[in-house]
């Protein structure tokens, strides 16, 4: 289970026309200017209007400026409109090729500029790109609706769909046709003109509100700084954390002070180790109050409007709730199935968390604290308890988790499983100077794809970790198009003369996002249009976390950054023995967010919501204990504004799959080639154009079992 937001889950909706939704979670494009003696004509100057003259045809990042995006979006929409007109105006009988395949190929420029915009703007923002987001999101939503609600286009799609069994289609073609037809119906193609007009208004307003929500969260995250002036207030903190805070202060023009932020690499060590309880409380409160400060960045009214409009949209399309609408195409299918899984885990997890509260309170009492455990205290006293129980200290582990070594460890696992090799490329166009770039090759040395990795936090980069593509694999245009993948994280930076040393949690995050990267790199699809589901697409990422903490794998990558000695067996044993530690907190914090998501999206009638009262009632209904706050409060719950609306449960649904899938390797061998090739062939290669359960059963030989996740979480 991961709490990191990922762009990877989003399906490449037909011809990338669900663009407006993703504007919620994108930030700004990194730009670099090249000196010119004279300004060329705009059409020639825009890098999107010519074939990329770069190695492997990656985007020419250094040449792309904010002013290039709007003209490219506009031209892309114009071109696609013309292509749709050709399809609709075709006098020949509708066929798979002249309708479905032609539609799949349409909007190539729009697809290209959209991918670059999404990938870049999430990692480095400024006012220019924010303004483009606000301007373009409703226009792209309108363009989307113009195609989705095109009556003549839908009639052609429907005509092909109705004779599908007579067309001798491949499995991939049948899956594409079936899901494309249903997607048009779900997008309102069968509504009357009045309801279609209303749907267009809703979609455009949702797009606008989503952009504002995301920008507000980023603004709130960047606005707060905990400034330490008294060195005494640093007591307990690791040296690396202090050094990074000093560096942050220096960059902010406050040399001689220390600055901590609500970015996780800065905040979590402070909550774990700082002795000053008041300052821990101040930092944590700033984190959980983002979007809830009754200022210009407040998200309460915005979220209320988003939820109301989503209910209106679902009702308009004939669904009881927005969750019913969303889950119809997901592996879970219904809200009832989601609740069945969440409730099965909630009750034992909550009971375990209550026991953990008693253990932490006992430490407070023993130390003479004289106060009751509060949410901001959890990390501090959990770290103390972990040391007591397992003699395991995060600062003891970090020297063995040098970032580049961990990265190479992930590469090694991919090599052992699939024969892939990763070769760093120099003098390549990069989305940011921090990025690393690799050519990925198959076992026979042939080109597989290009892989970017961007590891460190910036004020202009949104929080979390994610993986997406600047270009996805396809054969839609008659030849093999190789993928260009990007993996973005917010890990601890190098400190002083030390390299980047990351936490065990960050190790698992790296392997997690790398799993998404492999899913993109090893795709083997004939069409650009795919249909992905978050509750299945987390399987390729989460299964990689299992290899991350396997002793044999850790021995390969976990080497002391000074001595080069591999991590000792004693420390590995401590890690293995402590895997169930703090699981009550981890599960309750996460499941609370899942249940909050579902509570919003199972509303049956449009209404104005008092967000704070809604949260209060949610806490009372679920029995969430006061010592734990939902991993995401409503006002900064960016997942449910983006592609995880009624879908945040997907990490746990996928965890059922990944735990069961990894059992196959544990039952045979860690890098069993039969299972590895089956996983590549049936899951990674066809994800998005095959039935989810069929993919899993083709790999495993049966449906998944829930027992492995219960065992992993220690609740069986």
pLDDT tens digit sequence for 86-104: 999 999 999 999 999 999 9
Residues 6+ apart with CB under 8 A from 32: 61, 62
Query: Rounded to whole angstroms, how far apart are CA atoms 491 and 436?
Result: 14
Nearest 5°: the CA angle 551, 404, 416 is: 50
| Confidence at residue 34, expressed as pLDDT on a 0 to 100 scale | 32
Q: Which strand (E) or helix (H) includes residue 198? A: helix 193-223
Query: Can you give the length of the chain in residues?
Result: 716
Distance CA 188, CA 195 (A): 8
Name which of 354, 681, 672, 305 is nearest 524 in CA terms.
681
31 close to 553: Cβ distance less than 8 angstroms: no
- The DSSP-derived string for 117-181 is HHHHHTTS--HHHHHHHHHHHHHHHHHHHHHHT-HHHHHHHHHHHHTGGGS---HHHHHHHHHHH
Q: Determine whether 421 is exposed, middle or buried from the number of CB atoms within 10 Å of its CB (0-12, 13-18, 19+).
A: middle
| Active site positions, annotated | 513
> What is the percent of the chain where pLDDT is above 90?
87
Q: Which residues belong to CATH 1.10.1370.40 in the chain?
A: 11-210
Number of Cβ within a 10 Å radius of residue 89: 8
pLDDT in tens, 366-392: 999 999 999 999 999 999 999 999 999
pLDDT grade, residue 119 (50/70/90)?
confident
* Cα–Cα distance, 598 to 321 (Å, whole number): 10
CB of 264 closer than 8 Å to CB of 503: no
Query: Who contacts 652 (Cβ-Cβ below 8 Å, separation ≥6)?
Result: 1, 341, 342, 345, 590, 591, 594, 709
Write the pLDDT tens digit of every residue in 602-630. 999 999 999 999 999 999 999 999 999 99
Handedness of CA 678, 680, 682, 683 (dihedral sign): positive
Nearest to 622 by CA among 573, 658, 571, 588: 588
Q: What is the pTM of this model?
A: 0.89
Question: pLDDT per residue over 227-252, tens digit each?
Answer: 999 999 999 999 889 999 999 999 99
pLDDT of amino acid 44: 56
Question: 11-210: what CATH class?
Answer: mainly alpha
Sign of CA dihedral 137, 195, 308, 8: negative
What are the phi and psi torsion angles at 57 (to 5°)?
55, 40
pLDDT reading at 39 higher than 60: no
Q: How confident is the model at residue 124 (pLDDT cuts 50, 70, 90)?
A: confident
CB 176 within 8 A of CB 100: yes
Compute the distance between CA of residue 557 and CA of residue 286 in angstroms, rounded to an integer. 36
- The H or E element containing residue 226 is strand 226-228
């Amino acid at each position: 289970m991961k709490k990191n937001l990922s762009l990877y889950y989003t399906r490449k909706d037909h011809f990338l026309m669900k663009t407006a939704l993703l504007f919620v979670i994108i930030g700004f494009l990194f730009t670099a200017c090249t000196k010119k003696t004279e300004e060329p004509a705009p059409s020639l100057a825009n890098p999107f209007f010519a074939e990329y003259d770069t190695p492997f045809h990656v985007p020419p990042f250094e040449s792309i400026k904010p002013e290039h995006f709007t003209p490219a979006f506009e031209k892309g929409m114009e071109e696609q409109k013309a292509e749709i007109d050709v399809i609709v105006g075709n006098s020949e009988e509708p066929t798979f090729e002249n309708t479905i395949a032609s539609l799949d190929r349409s909007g190539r420029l729009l697809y290209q500029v959209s991918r670059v915009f999404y990938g870049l703007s999430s990692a480095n923002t400024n006012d220019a790109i924010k303004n483009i987001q606000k301007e373009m999101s409703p226009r792209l939503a309108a363009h989307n609706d113009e195609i989705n609600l095109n009556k003549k286009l839908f009639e052609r799609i429907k005509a092909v769909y109705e004779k599908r069994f007579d067309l001798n289609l491949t499995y991939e073609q049948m899956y594409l046709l079936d899901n494309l037809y249903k997607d048009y119906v779900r997008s309102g193609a069968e509504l009357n003109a009045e309801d279609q007009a209303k749907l267009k208004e809703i979609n455009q307003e949702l797009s606008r509100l989503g952009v504002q929500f995301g920008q507000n969260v980023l603004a709130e995250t960047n606005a707060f700084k905990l400034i330490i002036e008294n060195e005494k207030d640093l007591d307990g903190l690791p040296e690396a954390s202090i050094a990074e805070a000093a560096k942050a202060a220096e960059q902010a023009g406050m040399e001689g002070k220390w600055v901590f932020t609500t970015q996780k690499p800065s905040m979590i060590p402070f909550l774990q180790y700082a002795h000053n309880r008041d300052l821990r409380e101040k930092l944590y409160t700033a984190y959980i109050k983002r979007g809830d400060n009754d200022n210009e960045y407040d998200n309460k009214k915005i979220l209320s409007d988003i939820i109301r409009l989503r209910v209106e949209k679902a009702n308009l399309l004939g669904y009881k709730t927005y969750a019913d609408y969303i889950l119809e195409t997901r592996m879970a299918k219904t809200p009832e199935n989601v609740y069945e899984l969440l409730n099965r885990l909630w009750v034992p997890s909550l009971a375990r968390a209550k026991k953990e509260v008693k253990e932490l309170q006992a430490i407070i009492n023993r130390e003479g604290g004289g106060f009751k455990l509060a949410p901001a205290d959890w990390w501090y006293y959990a770290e103390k308890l972990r040391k007591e129980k397992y003699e395991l200290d995060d600062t003891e582990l970090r020297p063995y988790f040098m970032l580049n070594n961990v990265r190479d460890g992930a590469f090694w696992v991919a090599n052992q499983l699939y024969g892939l090799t990763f070769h760093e490329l120099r003098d390549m166009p990069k989305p940011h100077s921090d990025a690393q770039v690799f050519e990925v090759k198959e076992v026979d040395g042939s080109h597989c794809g290009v892989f970017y990795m961007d590891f460190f936090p910036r004020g202009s980069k949104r929080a979390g970790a994610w993986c997406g593509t600047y270009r996805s694999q396809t054969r839609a245009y008659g030849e093999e198009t190789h993928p260009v993948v990007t993996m973005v994280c917010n890990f601890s930076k190098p400190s002083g003369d030390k390299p980047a040393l990351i936490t065990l949690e960050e190790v698992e995050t790296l392997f997690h996002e790398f799993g998404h990267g492999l899913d993109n790199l090893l795709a083997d699809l004939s069409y650009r249009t795919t249909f992905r589901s978050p509750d299945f697409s987390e399987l390729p990422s989460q299964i990689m976390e299992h290899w991350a903490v396997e002793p044999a794998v850790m021995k390969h990558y976990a080497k002391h950054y000074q001595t080069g000695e591999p991590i000792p067996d004693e420390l590995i044993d401590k890690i293995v023995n402590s895997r169930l530690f703090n699981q009550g907190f981890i599960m309750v914090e996460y499941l609370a967010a899942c249940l909050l998501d579902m509570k919003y999206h199972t509303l049956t009638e449009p209404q104005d919501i008092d967000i704070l009262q809604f949260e209060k009632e949610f806490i009372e209904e679920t029995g969430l204990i006061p010592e734990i706050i939902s991993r995401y409060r409503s006002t900064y719950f960016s997942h449910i504004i983006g592609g995880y609306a009624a879908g945040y449960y997907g990490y746990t649904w996928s965890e059922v799959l990944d735990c069961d899938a990894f059992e196959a390797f544990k039952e045979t061998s860690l890098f069993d080639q039969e299972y590895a090739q089956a996983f590549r062939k049936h899951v990674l290669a066809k994800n998005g154009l095959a039935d989810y359960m069929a993919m899993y059963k083709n790999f495993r030989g049966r449906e998944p079992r829930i027992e492995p996740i219960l065992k992993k979480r220690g609740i069986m």
